[in-house]
Amino acid sequence: MTPAATIAPRPSTPIDLLLKHDRPVPRYTSYPTAAAFHGGVSSADLEAQLARPTDAPLSLYVHVPFCRNACWFCGCNRITTGAGSKVVEPYLEALSAELELITRLSAQRRRLAQLHWGGGTPNYLTIPERERLWGLIERHFDLASDLEASIEVNPEALSRQDVMELRRLGFSRISFGIQDADPLVQQAVNRVVPVDQLRRAMAWMREAGFASVNVDLICGLPLQTPERFDATLALVQDLRPDRVSLFSFAYLPEQLPLQRKIAATDLPSQLQRLQMLDSAAARLGGCGYDAIGMDHYALSGDSLAVAAREGRLHRNFQGYTTGGELELLGVGPTAISQFPGLFSQNQRDLKAYAASLAAGQLPVERGLVVSDPEVLERRELIREVMCQFRVVINPERYAAEWAALEDLAEDGLVRLSQAGGQGLVEVTASGRWLIRTVAAVFDPSQRQAASGSRLI
């Protein structure tokens, strides 16, 4: 008599689901993702894009690459230096040249609806240097009366004067990294910011009247434990920022040499990471935050949460945004520009970036031209999944995808229904933990070979 086949039980908790589906998946800040970028895209492609007439508003990203100290978990493009104005001055000169060239090549002067300074550490610049950079932007763009201007800052060397000056310049949104407030964890990643300084930074931002304050947290750092991370969450609950970005640490020492300073044996276990993520979701959800995708939370009254409820949420290389389908122009080394049919990324090396501009050429290093209608359609499907948590498809046309979704439906990640030859896919509350996994169903490259960062 043949024994009956053993049927594995279906996962019953978010932790069970994460363990089952944990595999490399892109973050889908774009589709196709940056992994598809290649050197065949040049400055000529960006020039052609800029030359197209449009009266649509624009989103501008400015990359400030400098940091005073290296955080060992970091995978961003940055230059660690204490040289200050000696490196900032030539950077600003090159940035000025880039903006001049963009203006000369553009069909018309563009109006900015969104502006974001990232890095690196934008507050590495002195107050006069920040004023100069803001002035460069005003020289080349019209700033919308309701401009949403945001900046990332490192709270370590932040002063009250810094915060007040940023608000006076015109920034309305500000973000700072906590990552983890425990001193042992901070020492283990070479980013030590006392809790008192974090509290001061938040108090100054509230005093300055910023419309929205975001804090970044990272789960999975060395020496983190559920108990230590819970203390960080308690601090965040007390500070009550408008938004919280909660990222899962991707340990990639082969690709990121700086991470070799972190011992793998110091990292929390997979189960501990899941416990921390679960605790964060429960605590934040219990004190007025809406979950936005898998790694963002926003107070219910924040514009990001409102956009999510109203179906206006969008996603680009800066993460979730209220910016709709705004074209994104990136300036500075390594900055990425994102247009409907073109991605272009600037030279990642500061010297190469400056050399291109000195030669009178836009500093494009690589990118991707996107014109295939099927790729554009899949982009929209992935965007709807990531931002609206629902999508309508034709089950016959997307038969392989529908079959994969049926498997996810058995695990309770999505709900499926059909009417009039169309299939409705709705991501469940449990499925939002695995929103990238659901989105990956529509990405053929993921069926060939999983790539990206692991979920946990």
What percent of the chain clears pLDDT 70, i.e. is strictly above it?
96
What per-residue confidence (pLDDT) applies to 456? 62
User: Which residue ranges make up each domain of the chain?
Assistant: 34-336, 373-447
pLDDT tens digits, one per residue of 216-226 = 999 999 999 99
pLDDT(196) > 70: yes
The alpha carbon torsion through 19, 25, 29, 35 (nearest 10 deg) reads 160
d(CA 63, CA 66): 9
Residue 34, token pair as written in the block: 């940056």
pTM confidence score: 0.93
Q: 34-336: which CATH number, 3.80.30.20, 1.10.10.10, 3.40.50.300, 3.40.225.10?
A: 3.80.30.20
What per-residue confidence (pLDDT) applies to 431? 85
R_g over Cα of the chain? 22
pLDDT(265) > 60: yes
What per-residue confidence (pLDDT) applies to 4? 45
End-to-end Cα, the chain, rounded Å:
42
d(CA 337, CA 329): 4
d(CA 313, CA 318): 13
What percent of the chain clears pLDDT 90, i.e. is strictly above it?
80
Find out if CATH 3.30.200.20 is the number for domain 373-447: no
| Domain 34-336 and domain 373-447 have a common topology | no
